[in-house]
Structure 1
Amino acid sequence: MHQGHNWLSAGWLAMGRGLSMFFLGLLAVFLAWFVVIGMSLALLGFGLFLIPGLIAALRWSATAQRRLTGHTGVPVGDPYRPVPRAGGGWKGAWRRCSALLADSATWRDVLWAQCAVTVTGLLALLPFAMLVHGLFGMTLPFIWEPVTGVWDGTWYLFVPVRGQETAWIAGGLGLAEIPVALLIAPYVLRLHARITRSLLAPTAKAEMGLRVAHLARTRTDAVDSSAAEIRRIERDLHDGAQARLLAMGMKLGAAESLLDENPEAVRALLAETRDASLRALEELRDLVRGIHPPVLADRGLVDAVRSLALESRLQVQVTADLLSRPEPAVESAAYFAVCELLTNATKHSGARRVLIDVQYRADVLAVTVTDDGNGGAGLESGSGLPGIQRRLAAFDGTLSISSPAGGPTIVGFRVPCALTVAS
C-alpha cells in the first residue's frame, strides 16, 4: 500500500512539474520575442535601455526552469557571467547591453525559449494530455451520441466509437490510460530535464570562465580577509597585551626607585604587576585561541566543536561522523564557521538548544547547525553570515540557510576536501 501511494504521489508531482515547466516555457517564448524586438529597437537608441530588463526577465524564467529541473534529480548550473557596473547614460546602457549580448548564455536562453513549447514543451505536457484524454474516454459511454453526432463518428485510440458497446470499450481504455500517464510521468519529466540541461547548462568554455572568475573573486576575498585578520591581531596586541606590558614596565621602574625608601609601596606595586601579568597572559591566550585554538591543532575539528559546546551557555548537542581529520586549512575554516554560528545563536536568536552535526560523505565535509530560536537569519541580517560565506568560498564551499520567522534556524555548509591526517 505504501509503495502504491509513493508511485501515485510521484506521478502526480511529476505531472504538476511538467505543467509548470510548460507554462514557464510559454512565458519564456514571449520574453525571448520581446528581447529580439528590443534588439531591433536598439538601432533607434532607446532600445538600449529596454534590453537589460528584458534579458533579466528571460534569465529569471530560465533560472526558474533550472530550479525545477534540479528538483527532478538533474542539476543544471548557473551559466551567466557577472554583469559589470557600467554607470548611467547612453554609454552605460551600451556597455550593459554589450556585456549581456556577448554572454553566450543569453543566446542559449533564447534557443531554449524557442524549444520550450515545441519539443521539450510537448514532452512536459504529454502525461497531463494523457490524463485529460483518459478522462475523456471514461466519459464517452455517457456522451457518445452527441459526440458522434457532432463529429460524424469518432475514434478513441484505435477504437471507432459507433455505439454503446464501443463507447464502453473506449471508457475502459480511458480508465487504463490514466495510471499509465501517472506511471510514465516521472520518466518523461526526467527525459525533459536532460534535454533542458543540454540547452541551459553552461558550456565547458563558460564553466572554465566562471571558474576563473570565481577563483579571482575568492582570492581577493581571502586576501582581504587575511589583511583584516592581521589588523585585528595588531589592534588586539596594541590595545591589550602591549599596553599591559608597558604598564608593567613602568610599575617595575617605580618599584625599583622606591625599593630603599618605601618597601610597602614596592610590595603593592609588585602585586599589581603580577595581576597585570596574569591578565596579559590571559589576553595572549585568547588571541592565540582566536588565531588557531590549541584544541583544534591537537585534537581536531570534532573535539574542538565539542569544546565550544561545553563552553556555550546554551544546551548544545554535537553529533559527528568524521573518522579522520580534514586538511588543516579546511578544518580551521569549518571551526571558525561553527564558532560564528554558535555565537549568533547565543546572541541573536533567543535559542535554548542547538544541534551541531558534522558529517563526511563523498569527499565533502558537511556541517549543519540547528537552533530552536526565533528565526529570521539571513545574509543581509548583519549576523556575520556573509563573512562565513566568503571564508568558505575560498575552498569552493557553499552555505545554505533556512530560517523562517518563528524558527527553527538551520544553517549548513559543505566543503569539498580530503581527509589527510589520521586522528
Structure 2
Amino acid sequence: MAVDQDAADGDRSAGLKATVVQATRAAGAAIGQLASGLGTSVLALLVLLWLAATAVASLVGVGLLVAPAVLRVLHGLAGRERERLGRWGPEVVSPQPSPTRLRPALVDPATQREFHWLVRHATLGLLLGLLGVLLPVLAIRDSAFPLYWKLAPANATATSVGVGVAHSWPDALAVTLLGAGWIAIILGLTPGMARLQARPGRRFLAAGPEVDLSLRIAELTSTRAAALDAHATELRRIERSLHDGTQNRMVSVTVLLGAARRMVARDPAGADELLERAQSAAEQALAELRSVSRSILPPVLKDRGLAGALSGLAAECAVPCRVDVDVSQRCAASVEATAYFVVAEALTNIAKHSGAGRAAVTVQARGGRLHLCVEDDGQGGADDERGSGLAGIRRRIAAHDGTLTLVSPPGGPTTLKVELPCGS
C-alpha cells in the first residue's frame, strides 16, 4: 500500500510539474504576442489620428489630396497585422487588393472591415499590449525587492502599486508576495489577453463572405503544382543516382565475378585478384546506396532531431558555421526534412560560390511556423534565376506553402530566410 501511495504521489507531482511548465510556456508566448501587438497598435493609433485629421481637412478640400496616401498606409498596416497573426496562429487569408482612391474605398467592404479593426486595435489592442509589457516588469520589480531594498532611499515607494512600506525584512518579504501575485496574474490572464487582442484582427482582416477567393485558390493550385514538380525532380535525381552510380557498380561486380569463376581453375591468383576487385566494387555500391537513402529522408533527423542534424551539416561544411536551434517540440517529418535539405543546399552554395569566411544558421519555432535563417559574409550576388540550387529550394518550400526571402546584394552579405508551417 505504501508503494502504491508513493507512486500516486509521484504521478501527481509529475502532473503538477507538467501543468506549471505548460502554463509558463503559454504565458511566455502570450507576453510575446502582446508585445508584438503593442507595436502594431501604436502604429494603428497614429494611423487613426491621421485618418481623423484627414477627415476634418477634407471638409475644406485639403484632406482629399492626402486620402490616397492614408488609405495605402491603412492597407499596409492591415497586411502587417495579418502577417503578425499568421506567425502566432492560423494564417489570416487576405482579401483582394483594396482600392486607394477615396470614392471606391468608402464603399469597399474590405476597407470598411480594416477601419473597424483599426479603431479596436488602436484602443483595446493598445491597452492590452501595454498591460502585457507592464505586468512582467511589475512582477520582476516586486519579486526581486528583497535583493535591493537596502539600497533604496528610505522614503522611496517600495511596491509597484504605489504603497509605501517600512524598509525591513518582513515588509520586503510581503512585497515579494505581491510579486508572486503578479506572476499568478500573468500565468492566468495573459493567454486570454493575447486572444482578446488578436480577435479583432482575425475577425475583420480575414477575407469576408463577400470576397472572391479565386486568388487564394489559384495560389493553392500553384503550390500543389510546385509540390508535384518537386516530387518529380526528386524521383529523377534518385533514378540518376541509382542508374549512373549503383547500377554501374553492380554490373561491374557481376562481370568481375563471372571472370573470376572462369579463371579459378587455371589461374587461382588472378581469380583471387578479380574477387578482391569485385568486393571493392560491391562495397562502393553499398556506400552509394546508403548515400541515396540518406538523401531521401536522412536517418539523422529521426535519431538526433533537427538540431543534431543541422549541427552535423555545419561540422561537415568547409566554411566555419555556427548553428542556433530553438525548437521546443518536433515538427512534422516532411517539414524537418525540408528544413534539413534547405540548410544543406544553402551551405553547399556558400562553400562553392560565396567566398565567405563564416556562416550562421538560426532556426526558431514561433506561432506554429518554423523560421529558418542562413547567413554568410561572402561576396553576395546570389540569384535563384541563375541556378545555384536556389530554384530547387524555392520549389521545396512552395510545396509546404512556405515563404522564402533572399537578400544578397553585390558585395554581400547574403541572408536566406525561410518560413514553414510546423504541422504541414
TM range, smaller chain: 0.5 to 0.7
Q: Is 1:236 the equivalent of 2:244?
A: no
Amino acid at match of 1:338: V
Q: Which of 259, 265, 271 is the matching residue for 1:260?
A: 265
Aligned match of 2:321: 316
Partners of 1:225 and 1:418 in 2: CA distance: 19
Amino acid at match of 1:385: L
Instruction: Give the CA deviation at 1:212.
Output: 2.1
Q: Map of 1:96-135 to 2, 5 A cutoff?
A: 105=97, 108-109=98-99, 112=102
Contact map agreement 2:230 2:399 (CA 8 A) in 1: no
Instruction: Report the secondary structure of 1:404's partner residue.
Output: coil
- Change over 3 Å in CA distance of 1:268–1:378 after alignment to 2: same
Instruction: Report the secondary structure of 1:317's partner residue.
Output: strand
Instruction: Report the secondary structure of 1:412's partner residue.
Output: strand
Q: Which of 366, 374, 383 is the matching residue for 2:379?
A: 374
Question: What does the per-residue CA deviation read over 1:57-85, in whole Å, with 9 as the maximum and x for residues that have no partner?
Answer: xxxx99975774369757697655xxxxx
Question: What does the per-residue CA deviation read over 1:85-117, in whole Å, with 9 as the maximum and x for residues that have no partner?
Answer: xxxxxxxxxxxxxxxxxxxx5xx527556559x
- Change over 3 Å in CA distance of 1:218–1:205 after alignment to 2: farther
Contact map agreement 1:327 1:418 (CA 8 A) in 2: yes
- Change over 3 Å in CA distance of 1:368–1:112 after alignment to 2: farther
Q: Which of 384, 391, 395 is the matching residue for 1:390?
A: 395
Amino acid at match of 2:372: V
Question: What does the per-residue CA deviation read over 1:291-338, in whole Å, with 9 as the maximum and x for residues that have no partner?
Answer: 111111222211111110111111011011112210111111111111
Q: Is 1:69 the equivalent of 2:71?
A: no
Amino acid at match of 2:99: D
Amino acid at match of 1:351: A
- Change over 3 Å in CA distance of 1:275–1:393 after alignment to 2: same
Which structure: larger Rg? 1
Instruction: Report the secondary structure of 1:374's partner residue.
Output: coil
Partners of 1:265 and 1:62 in 2: CA distance: 87
Partners of 1:304 and 1:63 in 2: CA distance: 47
Query: If the length of structure 1 is used for normalisation, what is the TM-score?
Result: 0.56
Amino acid at match of 1:270: L
Instruction: Report the secondary structure of 1:214's partner residue.
Output: helix
Instruction: Report the secondary structure of 1:261's partner residue.
Output: coil
Partners of 1:255 and 1:349 in 2: CA distance: 49
Contact map agreement 1:63 1:78 (CA 8 A) in 2: no
Aligned match of 1:417: 422
Structure 1 residues without counterparts, runs of 5 or longer: 1-6, 30-60, 81-104, 124-193
Aligned match of 1:277: 282
Instruction: Report the secondary structure of 2:380's partner residue.
Output: coil
- Change over 3 Å in CA distance of 1:324–1:271 after alignment to 2: same
Amino acid at match of 1:228: T
- Change over 3 Å in CA distance of 1:65–1:390 after alignment to 2: farther
Q: Is 1:214 the equivalent of 2:222?
A: no
Partners of 1:65 and 1:350 in 2: CA distance: 41
Contact map agreement 1:66 1:77 (CA 8 A) in 2: no
Q: Which of 351, 354, 361 is the matching residue for 1:349?
A: 354
Number of residue pairs the alignment of both structures matches: 275
Partners of 1:349 and 1:63 in 2: CA distance: 42
- Identity over the aligned pairs, expressed in percent? 40
Instruction: Report the secondary structure of 2:322's partner residue.
Output: strand
Question: What does the per-residue CA deviation read over 1:237-268, in whole Å, with 9 as the maximum and x for residues that have no partner?
Answer: 11111111011111101100010101111011
- The alignment yields a C-alpha RMSD, in angstroms, of 4.0
Query: If the length of structure 2 is used for normalisation, what is the TM-score?
Result: 0.56
Instruction: Report the secondary structure of 1:365's partner residue.
Output: strand
Amino acid at match of 1:391: R
Q: Map of 1:169-248 to 2, 5 A cutoff?
A: 203-204=208-209, 206=211, 208-248=213-253
- Change over 3 Å in CA distance of 1:300–1:74 after alignment to 2: closer
Contact map agreement 1:28 1:113 (CA 8 A) in 2: no
Contact map agreement 2:381 2:410 (CA 8 A) in 1: yes
